[in-house]
Structure formats: C-alpha cells, structure tokens
Amino acid sequence: MPTLICDCNKTMPLKAASLGTALGEPLALHSTLCRREIGDYQQAIRGNEPVVVACTQEQKLFAQVGTQTEGAVAPVHFVNIRETGGWSRDASQAMPKIAALLAAAHLPEPEPVPTVTYTSAGRLLVIGPLDEAERAAAMLSDVLDVTLFAQGGAVSQERRYPVLADRIDALTGWLGAFTLTWTADNPIDLDLCTRCNACIAACPEHAIGLDYQIDLARCTGHRACVKVCEAAGAIDFNRPMQTESQAFDLVLDLRAQPAFAQHAPPQGYFQWDSRDLPTLLKLRDMVGEFDKPRFFAYKQKLCAHSRNDQVGCNACVEICSAEAISSHPKRQQVEVNPNLCVGCGACTTVCPTGALTFQYPRAPEQGLRLRTLLATYAHAGGRDATLLFHSQERGAQLVEGLGRAARLQQAQGVPANVIPVALWHTASTGLDLWLSAIAFGASQVVVLVTGEEAPQYIDGLKAQMAVAQAILHGLGYSGTHFELLRADSVPALDAGLRSLGATRQSVPREAARFAVAAEKRATLELALDHLVAQAPMRPEAIALPPQGAPFGTIVVDKDRCTLCMSCVSACPASALQDNPQSPQLKFLEKNCVQCGLCATTCPEDAIVLQPRLLLTPQRREARVLNETRPYGCIRCGKPFGTLKVIEAMLGKLSGHPMFQGAALERLKMCGDCRVVDIYTARDEAKITDA
C-alpha cells in the first residue's frame, strides 16, 4: 500500500527514512503534495492498491483530483499527522508516533454494520408562544408542513398555519414517528374560530387572549363571549373534554422546559430560540430517508439483567442518556430501541457479561487498531506510549486546535508519546480494551472528556477505571495507568497533556500479541493472563471496588442456607451449580459477573457479593460453597430433599393447624409415600367416601 507523506511546506520535521523503515516501504518526502507535486498523487491512485495520504486538510481537493484523473481506481485513506504530532514543540521526536498513525491508516476499513432507517415527510410541529412559533414557521414553511401548538402568545390575524391548543398530555417518538397526545379542554374550538375578535372585545374579565383561548381561572361566567359568537358557534363551555393525537415527523420546541428531559433527546426533536439559526437550517434538510448505524448487538442469553422476575444487573438501563434501554424482567432481558440509541456505547462499557457489544467499530477491529498503533510505535523506537481516546467531533476539534496553536507558538502541542485515537464516542470503550492496550504496550490510557458527555457517562468511566487500576496496582504495576482528562478548551487540553508526563508507569516487559475477541469476557481473560504472567507481584486475590466490578466471589452463610438451589436457577452465567448426585452448592468464580441475582433471589438472605479478582488456579475450578446430608423418606428411605430444607419446613409449619399429627409426619415422606399414607390411613376422609 503506497504511502504519501508531506511536510506541509516544510513546517514539519519529517524523517522519511526512519518512517519508511518502520513501515517497511520506501517513502518520498513531499512539501506541496496538494499543489505542485499533485502529479505524484495522481500516479499513485492509478494502481489497484489502496493509497494512504498523510493529509486531511485537503481531503476534498484530493477527492476532486481523483475524479478528474484517468484510470484512478485505487481507494484512498487519509490520516492526520500534522496537528496530531507534526506541529508540536517536540515534533522532531514524534517519528514513532507518526509511523504508528500511518500504519493504522493502512488497516482495512471496518466491516459495514446494519443500519437504522428514518423516514420524514416533513410534518413539523412547533410548540410555543404563537408569535414566536409563527416567526420560526415563516422560515420553514416553504419546505416543511408546519403545525403550531399554542402556548400563549398572539397569533397573526391571517390564518397561515394549522393551530392546535389545550393541554399537552404526552409527546413520544423519534424522527419520522413522533406522536403528540393532548386533551381538548378549552371552550373555544380553534377550527370553528374565525378570529373576528368579538369574544375578546366582549369579555369583561379580559380572560381571552390573542391565542383565542380562555383563561378559565379569570373567567367568572358572564358568557358574553358565547352570545357574540352565536353565528360561528366556536365557544361552548359544555364541550366535553376529548383526548386527541396526531403524528409528526419533526418537533421544534420553543418552551424553556423541554418535552424530553434526558441528556440525549430523540433524533428529530429540537429546542430553539430566536438567535439559533443553525437549528432552522438543519430542520430544512430533514425531509426524506436517513440512515444511521445500528450501534449495538444484544445477546439475551448472556444478559444478567433478570431471572424469575428478579432484577440483577441494571447497569445499561441506568447509564443510557437517551433512555433507549428498557427493562423487561418477565422476559428476562432488556430491550434497546435502535431509533432512540445515539451510539454512545456506554451500555456496552458497563455491561459485565458482554451481552451488549459496540459495533461501530466492533471490538476485534478496534483491538487490531490499538495493537497496530502500539506495535509500530515500539518498533520505531517509541517509549512510554499514551493512548488519548477522544470523540470524533468536539474532541477532534480540540486536538486539531492544539496542533494549530503549537504551530503558532501559543501551546506545546500533542506530546510525542501521546497517540490520539478518535472514537465515535468516548464512552464506547472500557475495561476489556483498556487492559488490552496496556498488555499491547501502552503505558497509559487517557480518555478526553469535553463537557458534552452525560454526567452518568463520567461516573461510569470513573468506575471502570477504578476497577482497571485496582487490578494493575494489585499486580504490582506502579503509577497511574488510566485517567480521565477534562478539557473544554485548547489551553486546558495543552495543560492536561503536559501534566501526564509528570508520572511514570510500570508496564509488562513484553507486549502481548493476542487478538481482541468479539466476546468481552474472552478478551478480558486474554488480557489478564498476559498481565498476570508479566506482573511484578502475584497475590492470591485482588480486592476490587464494589461499583462496576465484573469479577468476584460470593460468601454463603451456611447456617442460613438451606440449599434450596434458587440461586442456581437464577444465575445467568452458570457460576453457581448444583451436584445431581449430592446436596452441594458449587461455585465457578471465573464465570461470576457480580450481577447480584443470586443474592436478590435467595429466600434466606444467605448470600453476599464480594468483588475481587482471584489469581489462583481455583478461579477456574468449581468449589463447594455449602453441602449437607440428603434427607431420606421416613417410610421408604429414598432421598427427596436436604436435611436443612426439611427441618426448615417443619419448623415453619409445625404450628399450623393443617399440619398436626400424621399430617406433619407426611412432610417427612417422599411424594409417593405421602399419597400411599393418605389412602391407607383409616382416619382420613376421602373423596370416594362422599
């Protein structure tokens, strides 16, 4: 795959020879690839092999030249090496990072994912004061079918748009599928109203405004308005309340209190004030069909959300800022609405089992990218690599702004050992990829948060980082390996990146080479195996923070446990097991996800969770947590329960009038012997005697 590098008019100290050695191909250094040397680009794209161009600023120009170049069929990958490293105070030391970025650009594009389709016919609902709503409608009505919902204000005399009013009950849905439900409880019917203003003039309480709605709190019942409206018949104080609904494709909300309180409202819903022109421009383009990626995949059989109507893990429901995930305990699953999902990936980050996985890109593709970056960086002589995860929008803007500021001598720029990695959303990576990155050779993983994230995302990332750091500290790796970097401006980002160099981290002696698996737990096992094998310390177990820990054991109170095995049937990960041959409760710690379903299901409250990472071989072996003698039938001797269960049952029922004498003794019998005893007892009344 040919690689074209350019030092942008000699503003970057690129070393073509060392970069070529790291990439395994000869590189020619250009200074004006987008101008005088454009012929080299045209020559490269005439082949069939993909071409990497180390410039994103002129991506549009290169694309136009490609369409005008005869025989140009090669796919082109663009990568930014300028703002991410070439424009920084230590750019001369950034060749390993630049080589890593170029190597990652050589990777194939991620496999396409399924899409979610929205269809909008342009039916727009504008909610707010009528005078403001009409101003917005005037700028949109040439391309959209506008309906107004009155919230006070004054409507124009001319009837320009359909107007609804009364009390809003609910607004639900998403782009192309909104439903407004309201109750018509005002005496004035706006469809019959002619806007003659006679009612306003006649009302002695001034209870009728230019929105043609009656303020019933001010109205004292003169009914002068009814008399002057006899011809039109638009006013009826006896009009029965009716619930009505109507469908819309788009919603523009002018109220101070939005209809949707969640951090990420549905696509197609916008809030607006009179100074917000970009929102109106965006609305004008929202007619037609729109596709977005289906960001997630869900495997119900792995989900630890619920069993037997009991809720265990609820992490995804609690963290979703779009309220796209709903709980369905009776179906033992959660349900993700793909139309509401905004693709943050936070649900996949906090999911302990991997039932929810992020698909844009998938974990194996993301893992290959990280391994390529870090392996190339090390091969080129780089040391102490720090991965900087940032969003593709605001995060990328800050990184590029920092590069420009460094070029103007106003900032230090992105340090030579910091490798920026753009993500669809910074909440989409978690424990599995972070620990894999350390195993692949990273010294530090830094997640850039810019203030656009939902508060629960920050809490979730903190909790995951606390677990990851506890594991590394427990293994004897010193330093801070995981960090949230908060920055909402270029100076803040510059200062934050510089502060990272103040600490040093110990890392594995050798870099791992495993491939990140599609299953989260499998990747965690691969990363942990490598980190443990290289660890300075190997304790028997590492205590983990209680929030967000996906590993651990359970402690069973043997005095309270009756071995009813309710916990076994509730465990979604098969960590709890029974023994068909003997009354034993067994536990396989490797499988435990700390969902808590066993503890909530246990009728005796005999189970307590204990987050930890066990490092001995027993983690992969089933061990007995509790056992007891089987209880044999007092009549035939056949085992039919455990001693503790029968004793507990006898203790609870011995005082009940239905279980006295022979009836109590039958509780000590197996099912067959109970029937025989009832039919052979002379003092028992039988249905056949009736």
DSSP 155-218: --SS--S-EE-SEEEEEE--TT-EEEEEEE-SSB-TTT-----HHHHH-TT--B-TT--B-TTT
215-219, 483-487, 532-536: segment of lowest average pLDDT: 215-219
How far, in Å, CA of 558 to CA of 32, rounded? 76
Q: How far is CA 520 from CA 31, 357, 543, in A?
A: 44, 8, 21
In this predicted structure, what is the pLDDT of residue 582? Answer: 85
Burial class (CB in 10 A: 0-12, 13-18, 19+), 404: middle
Which is higher by pLDDT, 646 or 420?
A: 420
Which is higher by pLDDT, 239 or 359?
A: 359
18-32, 117-131, 268-282: segment of lowest average pLDDT: 268-282
Q: What is the rounded radius of gyration, in angstroms, for the C-alpha atoms of the chain?
A: 34
Q: Give the mean pLDDT of 584-588.
A: 96
pLDDT at 685 over 80: no
Paired with 180 in beta bridges are: 171, 246
Q: How many CB atoms lie within 10 A of CB 367?
A: 24
pLDDT at 621 over 90: yes
Q: Give the mean pLDDT of 351-364.
A: 96
301 Cβ contact list (under 8 Å, min separation 6): 355
Length of the chain in residues, anyone?
Answer: 690
114-123, 144-153, 628-637: segment of lowest average pLDDT: 628-637
Tell me the residue type at 464: Q
How far, in Å, CA of 79 to CA of 53, rounded? 6
In this predicted structure, what is the pLDDT of residue 243? Answer: 94
Q: How many CB atoms lie within 10 A of CB 98?
A: 30
Which is higher by pLDDT, 683 or 501?
A: 501
Strands 51-53 and 3-6: parallel
pLDDT at 492 over 60: yes
Residue closest to 186 by CA, chosen among 162, 224, 210, 216: 216
In this predicted structure, what is the pLDDT of residue 254? Answer: 96
In this predicted structure, what is the pLDDT of residue 498? Answer: 95
pLDDT range class, residue 681, cuts 50, 70, 90: confident
What is the three-class DSSP state of 494? Answer: helix
In this predicted structure, what is the pLDDT of residue 645? Answer: 81
The counts of H helices and E strands in the chain are: 21, 32
Dihedral sign, Cα of residue 54, residue 56, residue 58, residue 63? positive
Query: Would you say 664 and 653 are in contact if contact means Cβ atoms under 8 Å apart?
Result: yes
Q: What is the 3-state secondary structure (H, E, C) of 25-42?
A: CCCCEECCCCCCCHHHHH
What is the overall mean pLDDT for the chain? Answer: 95
pLDDT at 650 over 80: yes
Q: Maximum Cα–Cα distance for the chain, whole Å?
A: 112
Tokens of 15: 């070393």
pLDDT at 504 over 90: no
pTM of the predicted model, to two decimals? 0.90
Query: Would you say 428 and 349 are in contact if contact means Cβ atoms under 8 Å apart?
Result: yes
How far, in Å, CA of 81 to CA of 556, rounded? 56
DSSP 227-262: HHTTTTT-B-TTPPPEEEEEEESEEEE-SSS-S--S
Strands 418-423 and 310-311: unpaired
pLDDT at 442 over 60: yes
Tell me the residue type at 314: N
pLDDT at 251 over 70: yes
Query: Would you say 100 and 382 are in contact if contact means Cβ atoms under 8 Å apart?
Result: yes
Paired with 448 in beta bridges are: 485
Q: Give the mean pLDDT of 642-652.
A: 83
In this predicted structure, what is the pLDDT of residue 684? Answer: 65
Q: Give the mean pLDDT of 302-328.
A: 95
Give per-residue pLDDT as tens, 597-615: 999 999 999 999 999 999 9
pLDDT at 80 over 60: yes
